């Protein structure tokens, strides 16, 4: 056994924190937010096939690639007391959550139009109002701020590294181009059932309409039998 190479650990979720400090413990959990968001991205892309979600995820991965390049270009070390490996400028956590929060806010407040083209609400659909969409946007931005602050509290990054990371994440977000409708009509996209409905619909709306229509028809059928 002594001749075997030593084993290495996969430190994807390995976080240093002070076990005697409850705030430090909370910050350790906040450090896992990017990993959790990746699971959410993958689940939504597979289950909804929405182009908007897939493009946002693609932008998120590009944001990570940009962070990888910037760290090796700037080569600024982490704070002295940090035992983590790699460079610290800019903060990848801050950049990740800043991109997500800004993308979510822009989508909910600017792009998302859940009402029907005629301006009439459907029988079985109550779209989110603008105040509700603003509230969810603020929740996303608050989450991003908490994650970014936790990196400073845990001594993984300096304030400057977090601010630069947040700025890079905000700047990475770009608009969608007009080729999306053309791309979604291509055979591979049609085979994968890709679509772009979430701008006008809620993610759960199509399935809910079918279910609500089915239950309405079933109740009507039972009512006729009871007469």
Domain boundaries defined on the chain = 22-202
pLDDT at 115 over 70: no
Q: Confidence class of residue 226 from pLDDT cuts 50, 70 and 90?
A: low
pLDDT at 176 over 50: no
What per-residue confidence (pLDDT) applies to 212? 75
The answer to pTM > 0.85 is: no
What per-residue confidence (pLDDT) applies to 105? 86
Q: What is the mean pLDDT of residues 202-216?
A: 73
Q: What whole-number percentage of the chain has pLDDT above 70?
A: 73
Handedness of CA 207, 208, 210, 215 (dihedral sign): positive
d(C-alpha 174, C-alpha 156), whole Å: 29
Longest dimension (CA), the chain: 85
Q: What is the mean pLDDT of residues 163-173?
A: 69
Mean pLDDT over each residue of the chain, to the nearest integer? 75
Residues in the chain: 227
Lowest mean pLDDT among 5-19, 67-81, 150-164, 212-226: 5-19
What per-residue confidence (pLDDT) applies to 178? 52
Burial level of 165, CB count in 10 A (0-12/13-18/19+)? buried
| Residue with the two structure tokens 């430090």 | 24
pLDDT at 15 over 60: yes
- What residues have CB less than 8 Å from 161, skipping those under 6 apart? 76, 78, 88, 89, 90, 91, 94, 151
């Amino acid at each position: 056994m002594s001749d075997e190479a030593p084993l290495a650990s996969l430190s994807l979720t390995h976080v240093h924190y002070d076990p005697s400090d409850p705030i430090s413990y909370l910050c350790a959990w906040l450090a896992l937010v990017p990993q959790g968001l990746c699971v959410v991205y993958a689940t939504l892309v597979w289950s909804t096939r929405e182009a908007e979600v897939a493009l946002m995820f693609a932008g998120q991965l590009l944001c990570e690639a940009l962070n990888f390049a910037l760290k090796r270009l700037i080569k600024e070390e982490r704070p002295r007391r940090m035992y983590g490996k790699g460079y610290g400028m800019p903060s990848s956590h801050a950049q990740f959550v800043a991109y997500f929060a800004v993308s979510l806010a822009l989508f909910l407040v600017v792009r998302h139009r859940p009402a029907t083209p005629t301006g009439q609400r459907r029988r079985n659909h109550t779209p989110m109002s603008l105040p509700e969409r603003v509230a969810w946007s603020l929740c996303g931005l608050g989450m991003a701020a908490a994650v970014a602050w936790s990196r400073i509290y845990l001594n993984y990054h300096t304030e400057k590294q977090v601010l630069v990371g947040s700025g890079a994440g905000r700047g990475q977000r770009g608009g969608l181009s007009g080729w999306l409708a053309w791309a979604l009509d291509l055979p591979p996209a049609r085979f994968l059932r890709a679509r772009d409905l979430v701008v006008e619909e809620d993610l759960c709306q199509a399935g809910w309409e079918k279910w609500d229509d089915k239950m309405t028809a079933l109740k009507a059928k039972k009512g006729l039998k009871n007469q």
